[in-house]
Amino acid sequence: MKKFMLFAGLIFVFMAAGSLAIGEEAPRHPGLTKIAEGIYSYLDEKNPAPSSSFGANAGIIIGKEGIVVVDTLISSKEAQRFINEIKAISDKPIRYVVNTHEHLDHSLGNSDFIRLGAVVVSHANCKKNAEAAASTILQKAKNYGLTDELLQGTKVATASLTFNNRMEIDLGDRKVELIYTGASHTDGSILVYVPDARVIFAGDILFTDVHPYMGDGEIKGWTNVLDNISAMDIVSIVPGHGPLSTKKDLQEMRQYLLTFERIGRELSAQGKDSNYIAAEIIKAAPKRQFFEVFVAGNVAALYPQAPKQ
């Protein structure tokens, strides 16, 4: 029932926002965008439909020895579109795929990259969570409106290389640092940092202009990570969803989470229901363009004592 309500809510939001209704043809993807020498983001902030990976961002880092891909989108079709664009700008081998975390819109394209010889890397908890969800994740994608056709060829694949705290990938002329965040957006989330270009891929630690999905979230750890990124030497941040970002967006995200926590805790203690609490959070938190529908679900996940309507 809960899933159905979420699904129905998503359709409503897409139609109400004048955005894509599920099943409509997606507009042309803006494609790979150069953000630094040899670093491209794959942003799609204008199209948050489930079939377009909920507008999830991915990216690539090109070095002398090959390419590191950050996240693989929601389906084989999405991954193939991404792969074709990578091949159009570089003939170097895709050595590694890094999953910033296990959520379906960031990882269901893994197997298409493995077929090309890439090694999938993630945090150990990300792999553990992905394995636990492996038998149900394609059905979950269908519950969000992805058809069999959209999911054609999609096979669940988890990392073959994991780490716990930090890992470094050496591409010959540049290094890519993978940094565990601790429990935050998920308990297996990582940051992908390219120090020579001062660029960071934040995964879903950062949602810019999009209400975050917080169903697996831990707010204290999450705000700590945002503070840690703010203290780093960076000029560009690729968020998990939304446009290319800066440190100002980290502060807004932090404010959003703290507002969510303050109102959520206070009103759930008063016995208010999750829809009421969500409406109050939306009024008070920094404005977001997409995914209001997630807020009530986030409240229900983080404050299970709040009665559901």
Catalog residues that contact Zn ion under the rule CB under 5 A.
103, 204
Contact partners, residue 296, CB within 8 Å, separation at least 6: 274, 275, 277, 278
Spatial separation of the C-alpha atoms in residues 275 and 281, rounded to whole Å: 10
Burial pattern 245-269, b for ≥16 Cβ within 10 A else e, equals: beeebbebbbebbebbbebbeebbe
Spatial separation of the C-alpha atoms in residues 245 and 254, rounded to whole Å: 14
Contact partners, residue 3, CB within 8 Å, separation at least 6: 143
Minimum Å gap between C-beta 204 and Zn ion is 3
Nearer to Zn ion, 40 or 291 (CB): 291
Nearer to Zn ion, 34 or 220 (CB): 220
Minimum Å gap between C-beta 303 and Zn ion is 20
Minimum Å gap between C-beta 54 and Zn ion is 9
Structure tokens at 205: 């630690």
Spatial separation of the C-alpha atoms in residues 216 and 262, rounded to whole Å: 18
Nearer to Zn ion, 77 or 103 (CB): 103
Q: Is 184 in contact with 221 (CB distance < 8 Å)?
A: yes
Minimum Å gap between C-beta 256 and Zn ion is 15
3-state secondary structure (DSSP) of residue 61: strand
Minimum Å gap between C-beta 41 and Zn ion is 17
Minimum Å gap between C-beta 294 and Zn ion is 11
Nearer to Zn ion, 88 or 132 (CB): 132
Angle between helices 293-302 and 2-16 (to 10 degrees): 150
Nearer to Zn ion, 44 or 204 (CB): 204
Nearer to Zn ion, 204 or 252 (CB): 204
